[in-house]
Amino acid sequence: MKLGTLTRKFTAEQKNGNVVAIESIRFCSIVDDEAGVIKYTITPKNFDGKIAVESYLDGDVKNQDSNYDEKFWNEITAKQNGDFALINLETKKTAFWVSSAIYTAIIMDDNDLALKSSFASKDKYVSQNFEVDVKQNEAITIFKYAVNLSSENHEKDAIEVNAISKLEEVVAKGFNQMLGEQADAWAAKWQNGDVIIEGDVAAQQAIRFNIFQLHQTYTGEDARLNIGPKGFTGEKYGGSTYW
């Protein structure tokens, strides 16, 4: 929460006995609220072989606490545009569009492997698929850059072109610069808004979690937006705010 990132580190053993070590870090940018990135490092610990990578966008989502178990998305288009995969979705009833696009790079020994991907799609789903030759204890790192643009901010007839342009900007900026900007922005937020509780670790963690969620839900940058009812986001109450 201090940096606004989610980090995971674990080892997994497959049914065939192959062991891989995984380290990942991901974040939605608090500096650029249309962008996010994942860095995913895979190290084969006891084998040489091939690793299949499926980098995807899934618009067929439903939050656990959605009203009436309803899904709120209809697909408009799904396609591959050069090295990018893209999907355009529309919300039911309110008819907002969201254009989401991804670019995936696979790195080994600090070199971009420049692998060509195969493209796959189904209803509200697109993916870029790669196959990577690996050797024991030689890591590969996957960078997945993503953008989400809304028709609240972009004309529908231009939103797809704008999404590709935005994704090109994000890829050019790169992971390290994005992470540095993220750390600086969150440091400023915590400097101005932290609450320190002494003698109660659980209460300290709880208040910081709530402060983080408030900042994450609404940055204060757009006066048209708000924190959703009861702090919910996504499908709850149709994605609407009214207080």
Query: Long-range contacts made by residues 155-161, C-beta under 8 angstroms, separation at least 24?
Result: 156/97, 159/88, 159/97, 159/99, 160/77, 160/86, 160/88, 160/99
Per-residue pLDDT of the chain (243 residues; tens, 9 = 90+): 999 999 999 999 999 999 999 999 999 999 999 999 999 999 999 999 999 999 999 998 877 766 666 788 899 999 998 899 999 999 888 899 999 999 999 999 999 998 989 999 999 999 999 999 999 999 999 999 999 999 999 999 999 999 999 999 999 999 999 999 999 999 999 999 999 999 999 999 999 999 998 888 888 888 888 887 776 666 666 666 665
CA atoms of 20 and 137, how far apart (whole Å): 9
Q: How far is CA 27 from CA 13, 19, 36, 44, in A?
A: 26, 26, 6, 25
User: Does residue 223 lie within any of the structural domains?
Assistant: no
Domain count, the chain: 1
Q: What is the domain extent for residue 58?
A: 6-189
Placement of tokens 């190290």 in the chain = 43
User: Does residue 69 lie within any of the structural domains?
Assistant: yes
User: Does residue 200 lie within any of the structural domains?
Assistant: no
What's the token pair of residue 107?
A: 């790195």
Cβ-proximal residues to 203 (8 Å cutoff; 6+ apart), any chain:
197
Q: How high is the pLDDT of residue 82?
A: 85
Q: What is the pTM of this model?
A: 0.92
User: Does residue 120 lie within any of the structural domains?
Assistant: yes
Please say whether the beta carbons of 3 and 182 come within 8 A. Answer: yes
User: Does residue 149 lie within any of the structural domains?
Assistant: yes
Q: How high is the pLDDT of residue 227?
A: 80
User: Does residue 237 lie within any of the structural domains?
Assistant: no
User: Does residue 45 lie within any of the structural domains?
Assistant: yes
Q: What is the CATH number of the domain that holds 45?
A: 2.70.98.40
The amino acid that residue 10 corresponds to is F
Closest C-alpha to 145, from 34, 1, 8: 34
User: Does residue 123 lie within any of the structural domains?
Assistant: yes
- Helix axis angle, 175-193 to 159-173, nearest 10°: 90
